[in-house]
Amino acid sequence: DIQMTQSPSSLSASVGDRVTITCRASQGISNYLAWFQQKPGKAPKSLIYAASSLQSGVPSKFSGSGSGTDFTLTISSLQPEDFATYYCQQYNSYPHTFGPGTKVDIK
Amino acid sequence: EVQLVESGGGLVQPGRSLRLSCTASGFTFGDYAMSWVRQAPGKGLEWVGFIRSKAYGGTTEYAASVKGRFTISRDDSKSIAYLQMNSLKTEDTAVYYCTRALVTAILYYYYYYMDVWGKGTTVTVSS
């Protein structure tokens, strides 16, 4: 199975900050990577697929990049509604494994 | 509006069975693959498995932790995906989400990624 890691596991940031989360796969997955946002008590929301393509309706402050084993999710200007946990997931091969998550909270 | 609604969760004893349903609306259900993802209390997301659309064979894939115990099926006439869970264990306690899955085709390979999520249904396995 492909193992996914994320760093940091948590971070504190202020409104307006630029935030970058890293996701690493244990082996190459081309660009078959998705990002999700989850707020407490809520279902996850799909943000990005194919490493850098925004899901419909997702604001352009979110961006993704990377290929192979190393990927990043960037939030250009953090807003109060962006405080949440973010997960990456590879869908290159089965099982479609998730990263452990990165919790973004308010500094 | 595209919507997925899970149902069927509840409290069940270890070793027993439970069937979850995911009722879809707002899109042509039969054209899409459907996935199940779970989240144990206080933990991260775990991919459970998925079922391809009939156009891609209607076949299934599962996580090792549930393979042989869980079965995913679909009824396109009713726009419902099912997760049949047998021989339940305490570690199956989680919120179960169903998702719609889109496909990207590259040569003869097909890659499925999730877009729409339901709100989830809670399964508690306890004696």
B44 vs B64: CA distance, rounded Å: 17
Contact A38 B45 (CB under 8 A): yes
Distance between B121 CA and the closest CA of chain A, angstroms: 10
Contact B113 A97 (CB under 8 A): no
Q: Give the DSSP H/E element, type plus range, for residue A37.
A: strand A33-38
> Please, are residues B42 and B62 in contact by the beta-carbon 8 Å criterion?
no
Contact B117 A56 (CB under 8 A): no
Give per-residue pLDDT as tens, B19-42: 999 999 999 999 999 999 999 999
Give per-residue pLDDT as tens, A62-74: 999 999 999 999 9
**Chain B CB within 8 Å of residue A70 CB:** no
Secondary structure string (H, E, C) spanning A77-89: CCCHHHCCEEEEE
Confidence (pLDDT) at A39 = 98
pLDDT grade, residue B70 (50/70/90)? very high
Give per-residue pLDDT as tens, B48-61: 999 999 999 999 99
**Residue B56 amino acid letter:** Y
Give the pair of three-digit tokens for residue B66. 């549930």
Which of B3, B32, B36, B45 best tests the A interface by mutation, with the highest count of A CBs <10 A?
B45
